[in-house]
Structures are given as structure tokens and as C-alpha cells.
Amino acid sequence: MKIHQISLFVENKPGHIAAPARLLAEEGIDIRALYLADTQQYGILRMIVSDWEKAARTLEAHGFVVKVTEVLAVLVIDRPGGLADVLGALDGTGINIEYMYAFSDVRGDQAILIFRFADPDAAIARLQAAGISLLPSEELLKK
Amino acid sequence: MMRSVLESSVADCHPASAPDYTPVAQLRDLQLQRLQAVVARAWHQVALFRSRMDERGLTPQSVRSLEDIGKLPFTVKSDLRDTYPFGLFASPMKDVVRLHVSSGTTGKPIVVAYTKEDVDVWTSVVVRCMAGCGLHHGDIVQIAYGYGLFTGGLGAHYGAEALGATVVPTSGGNADRQIMLMKDFGVTAICCTPTYFLHLIDRAAELGVELKSLPLRAGVFGAEPWTDSMRRHIESMSSIEAFDIYGLSEIIGPGVGCECRRHQGLHIFEDHFYPEIVDPTTGEPLPDGSEGELVLTTLSKQAMPMVRYRTRDITRILPGRCECGRTLRRIDRIGRRSDDMLIIRGVNVFPSQVETALLQIEGTLPHYQIVLTRHQGLDEMEVQVEVTPRMFTDKIEALQGLHDRLQEALDHVLGIRVQVALVEANTIERSQGKARRVIDRRTL
């Protein structure tokens, strides 16, 4: 159920996201989801890509500092209250969300929430118990 | 039968190390004799030196004791630039077998010359350095200093070869290959800059090579100042014994002095290089034990004798005799240079303090650079720190926490407010394995 996400350190300057994007393009790696967490000075570019191992290898070979982390992808209906339902399932469980981001799926009326939990195993158990569907990596990467 | 300390130490070392144990009175006699000869040589052969002696009403006969050295004129780095390329040579070019060039950060480079005898002396002092570090015939020594115009690579190379070691002349750069050869060849000792070795430590970790499991047991590090905390870090990450070697091209290159296994200062090979400590501002000689600028006189150099060369390195001559039994005097490890000092908003700042602060927080020394600018008459200091894989996390608050801890440590150590900027890996320029630490963009 866990999905490999790669994170890159980037300076908050014009053109600094273009270089990694170009490298991935040259290797034929598809970026499925992307989120930039930034401060005034720098940012962390988080991506879910079609081939995380190759992406990490390519970027590292070009001098980027890359971190691979495990995240969960939750599928929700793209309607008011979709996110609230998921968060509600975690309420009072002490399961800590490190961060999250969302994107809507091109396939239709669904949205995908990406969560980074401090304890992903506990989160999986809890979400599944609450009947919330987690998207495995092959599903997420499918076009 | 009892063996004296002296005998046992000699027995541990290479035969070339014998001069390290010359009785002091005999050493002083030798130094005086050689000083008189080098002054006479420079006076006869080098116009600049002769004119400076004339201005002071001095002749070679004015040197009757070692103390008389204090009367002689200093030589400074700009003298080498001003007389570029061959103005300070004391030998005809046909006797010069080697030229080295040190790239100047400003303007012209400086050129240094060696006769066959000079190269032999250089080799012999590097042998004495390495023997003092416990290296010997049978060691496999990787030389990761740059080879070429820089004195580091060839100087260490000739010494290691003469010691009887197997030399792997990797020169600088290509960390992955350095690590591969180190592992595949069973390298037992490495010579490079300490910051380059830090880079190899990080890279080895990324490649999954466990340095601690390799036969590597010693590192002879020089060409830039480094701190005891860097030594502790290097030793704990790689299980080697790290030695500080000192030298400068103007005097001979690496091998002017080196630590022995006691690690209590660097022995100066004073049968060839006479050390003095002077007040960096007034030039007045200071007694042993006082901190000041190291001034060196080459006692046996033929092609390019240097009389009272101002090294700009700040240190002191350590009082007392080293437990190793060598009679050679020792200098303290060099942490700073008189011309390294930055004055920022009236506060004296040394780059080594920045290193101390970074090490405190990270336990490792990332590549860093100090950038000075001036806005509306006010100096600003930015410390750019490259984010290493060890430092990086995918959480903003963790990175921000790191940033804040660095900021706090720097403010505390330096006593002034600085800006910390985390920058992408491999974006700070490196040259010759030596990092360029300070970029001063201030204009008056």
C-alpha cells in the first residue's frame, strides 16, 4: 500500500525546478504527482514518478540530494466532505500526519490524497478499518 | 638492558628520520652554519635581497649568531609576484630541474624553483613526515592531492615512493574512482586535503562502502587549515589516524612540518627550515610560546632561498620537548592566517570559527562559503551551506529547524548576526581540492 515518493532540495530561484524536470523527461520518467513545499529561501520538491528508483539514481548522478520516503495514497470521491471523512477516520487515534497534498484524478470524479504519516503502518490499519480505500502504487501510476 | 626513549623512537622510524633526533646544540650549530651560507648565497645571487641588505647596512658577515636572523629583512608574498617569473632565483636555469606555480587569487601567479638538491631535500623531509606518521615500506599510499603545478601531489608522491611505499597517484577529483581504488587496492594511507577526505567519507557512505572495514589506517592531511573537531569527525567516521602536515610552495611544498604519532603539534624540520614567530603587525620577534605569525627561512634551498618568509599563518612554537624524542621544535596546529581575518561590522571573524559552529550542529563539515556584501554602508555576512544527503529531509519544519540551529550556533560563535542560506549540493565552487571559503563583494 505504501508508495515511494522522492523529494529534492531546491533553492527558491528561477529555473531551479526546470533542471530536475528536464532530467526526468530525458529518462522518459513520468511525473504522476508533484508538490512544492517552499519557504522564502528554498523548497522541497516532492514527486511521485513512474519509476522512482531510476529517478532517484538519475537525479543523484547529477548532484541532486534526493530523499525517498513512503507515503500513502487515499482515493476519495471528489465532492464536498471527501477530505473531512478521511480525516475524521484518523481523529482521536493519535496518528500524526506529517504533511499531505491532493490532486484530482483525470479519470473522473475522484481525488487522490497523498499522506505522509509518522507511522504509516498504523495509518494503513486505521484507514482500512474505516473502509477508506488506499491506492496501491500500480493503480496510482496507471494512466 | 634498558633502551632509552631516543633509541626506541629511532628504531620505529625510517633511517631518513635520524636528523629528527640531532642533539639540540649540534642542531643549532648546523642551523647557524646553513643560515650563513644561505644568506651569502641570496646576497650574491638575488638583487632584491642584496638591495634590502644594503639599505640596512648589512652584509652576510652580519650574521654571527642565530639571533642575528632578527636583523635580516623579511620576504613577503608580493615579492614573489613583483619579481615574476624568475627574479628571486639564485641558480641559473640550467640547474633548475623543476618549476611549480601557485595560482594567485589576485593577479599574477608565483613561481618556485628547485635544483636537483632541492628536490632531494624535499623528498627527504616528506619521507620524515610519513615515517613520523608511522608509515613505512609495505604501505600502499594513495596521493589524492592535485598533481601538476600545485606542489601537493608531486611532493607527497616523491616522498612516499622514497619511503618505500607503493604509490597510487590518483591526483584530485573523481571521488567514486578514488573510493573504488582505495577499496580494490587495499590502500593503507591517503594524502589529500582534509575537506576532500570529508567529501570521500560522505561519498563512500552514499556508495555503501564501509570505510571502517577497509585496511586504510592513516591520513596525512594538509594544504588548508583544519580543526581538532574535524579530526575527531574524520577519525570516528573512518577509523583512521589523521595527521596534520604543513607546508607551502614558497618554502618547499608539503613537508615543512608534520605531526608525529603523539599529535602534540607539528615538528618543523628545522635542519632545513628555520622557524620564528613574529608579531604580525610590528614584525618584532616573539619568544617561544607566544602566538604570532610564523616566519620561515630556508636553510638549504639552492634555487630559490627564502630569507624570513612571512607565511601569514598564525601559530606559536610549543615549549618543551615532544614525548616522541625528536629534538625538532613544534608549532601548534594552524587554525587561521593573519590575512584570513575578516572584519565585519568591526568584529574580527575567522573562517575557522564558522567551521567550528557548523561542526557543532552537524557533526560533519558540509561545504560552505562565506559571502560578504555591503548594503547602505552596513556589512552583511551570509554563510551558504550545502545541503548534504545526511542533512536533507522531506519535511520543511525539520529543514527549518536545522537552519535555525545553524543560525544560532553561528551567531553565538561569531558574536555577530549572520544570515544562513541552505543551498543545493555541489553548487559551491571547488578548486584544486581546496574550497574557496570567502567571497568578499564589499565595495567601499
Which residues of chain A does CATH 3.30.2130.10 include?
2-69
Residues 6+ apart with CB under 8 A from A10: A16, A17, A20, A36, A42, A43, A44, A45, B424
Chain-chain contact of B423 with A116 (C-beta, under 8 angstroms): no
Distances (CA, A) of A116 to A100, A142, B21, B80, B384: 6, 21, 65, 61, 29
Cis peptide before B366 (omega within 30 of 0): no
pLDDT digits (tens, 9 = 90+) for A88-130: 988 888 899 999 998 877 667 888 899 999 999 999 999 999 8
Question: What three-state secondary structure class fits A134?
Answer: strand
Of residues B365, B368, B367, the one with CA closest to residue B356? B365
- Residues of chain A within CATH 3.30.70.260 domain(s) are 71-141
Inter-chain residue contact A39 with B396, CB threshold 8 Å: yes
Q: Does A66 touch chain B (CB under 8 A)?
A: yes
Q: How far is A87 from chain B (nearest CA, A)?
A: 20
Pick B392's closest partner by Cβ from A11, A41, A67. Answer: A67
CB B330 within 8 A of CB B267: yes
Q: Nearest-CA distance from B442 to chain A in Å?
A: 22
Distance (Å, rounded) from C-alpha B138 to C-alpha A72? 56
Query: Which residues in B lie closer than 8 A to residue A16 (C-beta atoms)?
Result: 424
E strands within chain A? 2-11, 31-38, 42-49, 66-77, 97-104, 110-117
Q: Which residues in chain A are contacts of B395 at CB distance < 8 A?
A: 44, 98-99, 116
Q: Inter-chain contact B424–A37, Cβ cutoff 8 Å?
A: no
pLDDT at site B342 = 81
CA B308 – CA A105 distance, rounded (Å):
76
Question: What's domain B342-440's superfamily in CATH?
Answer: ANL, C-terminal domain (3.30.300.30)
Determine contact: A42 vs chain B, CB below 8 A: yes
**Minimal CA–CA distance to B187: which of B225, B144, B156, B128?**
B144
Cβ distance of A116 and B394 shorter than 8 Å: yes
Sort out which chain B residues have CB atoms less than 8 A from A45's CB and list them.
none
Give the residue from A12, A42, A47, A71 with the most B CB atoms within 10 Å of its CB, the best one to mutate: A42
Architecture category of domain A71-141 in CATH: 2-Layer Sandwich (3.30)
Using alpha carbons only, how large is chain B's radius of gyration in Å? 22
Residue with cell 627550515: B273
Question: Which of A37, A67, A69 has its CB closest to that of B396?
Answer: A37
DSSP B199-246: HHHHHHHHHT--GGGSS--EEEE-SS---HHHHHHHHHHH--EEEEEE
Specify the pLDDT at position B154.
Answer: 97
Lowest mean pLDDT among A10-19, A50-59, B167-176: A10-19
Least Cα distance to B370 among B262, B298, B270, B442 occurs for B442
* B1-335 CATH fold: Rossmann fold (3.40.50)
On whether any CB of chain B is under 8 Å from the CB of A70, the answer is no
To test the contact with chain A by mutation, choose from B367, B420, B424 the residue with the greatest count of A C-beta atoms within 10 A, namely B424
A contacts of B420 (beta carbons < 8 Å): none
Residues of B in contact with A67 (CB under 8 A): 389, 392-394
Say which residues have a Cβ less than 8 Å from residue A61's Cβ, sequence separation at least 6.
none
Shortest CA distance to B35 belongs to which of B323, B306, B388? B306
- Average confidence (pLDDT) per 10 residues, chain B, 444 residues: 42 79 96 98 97 96 97 94 94 97 68 98 98 96 94 96 97 93 98 90 92 97 86 93 96 97 97 96 92 96 98 93 96 82 78 83 80 84 91 90 92 87 86 71 75
Closest partner residue to A9 (CB to CB) among B206, B400, B424 is: B424
Nearest Cβ partner of B424 from A11, A60, A99? A11
Partner-chain contact B424 A65, CB within 8 Å:
yes
Cβ-proximal residues to B64 (8 Å cutoff; 6+ apart), any chain: none
pLDDT at position B276 is 97
Query: B389 CB contacts (<8 Å, ≥6 apart)?
Result: A65, A66, A67, B202, B205, B206, B425
Hey, is the C-beta of A58 within 8 angstroms of any chain B C-beta? Answer: no
The one-letter code for the residue type at B260 is C
Domain with CATH 3.40.50.12780 in chain B: 1-335
Instruction: Tell which CATH classification among 3.30.2130.10, 2.40.70.10, 3.40.50.2000, 3.30.200.20 matches the domain A2-69.
Output: 3.30.2130.10
User: Whole-model pTM?
Assistant: 0.69
Residues of chain A contacting residue B387, judged by C-beta atoms under 8 Å apart: 9, 65
d(CA B418, CA B414): 9
On whether the CB atoms of residues B97 and B115 are closer than 8 A, the answer is yes
Answer whether B394 sits within 8 Å of A41, measured CB to CB. no
Indicate the residue of A39, A41, A67 with minimum beta-carbon distance to B393: A67
User: Chain B residue with minimal CA distance to A117?
Assistant: B395
Q: Is A13 on the interface with B (CB under 8 A)?
A: no
Answer yes or no: are the C-beta atoms of B193 and B222 closer than 8 Å: yes
Q: Are strands B96-102 and A110-117 parallel, antiparallel or unpaired?
A: unpaired
Chain B residues near residue A11 by CB distance under 8 angstroms: 422-424, 427
Interface contact B425-A63, CB threshold 8 A: yes
Closest CB to A98 among B392, B395, B423: B395
Ramachandran class of B391: left when φ > 0, alpha when ψ lies in -120 to 50, beta otherwise: alpha
Per-residue model confidence as pLDDT tens digits over A61-84: 888 999 999 999 998 888 888 888
Distance of alpha carbon B177 from alpha carbon B168, whole angstroms: 12
Spatial separation of the C-alpha atoms in residues B159 and A136, rounded to whole Å: 61
- Residues carrying CATH 3.30.300.30, chain B: 342-440
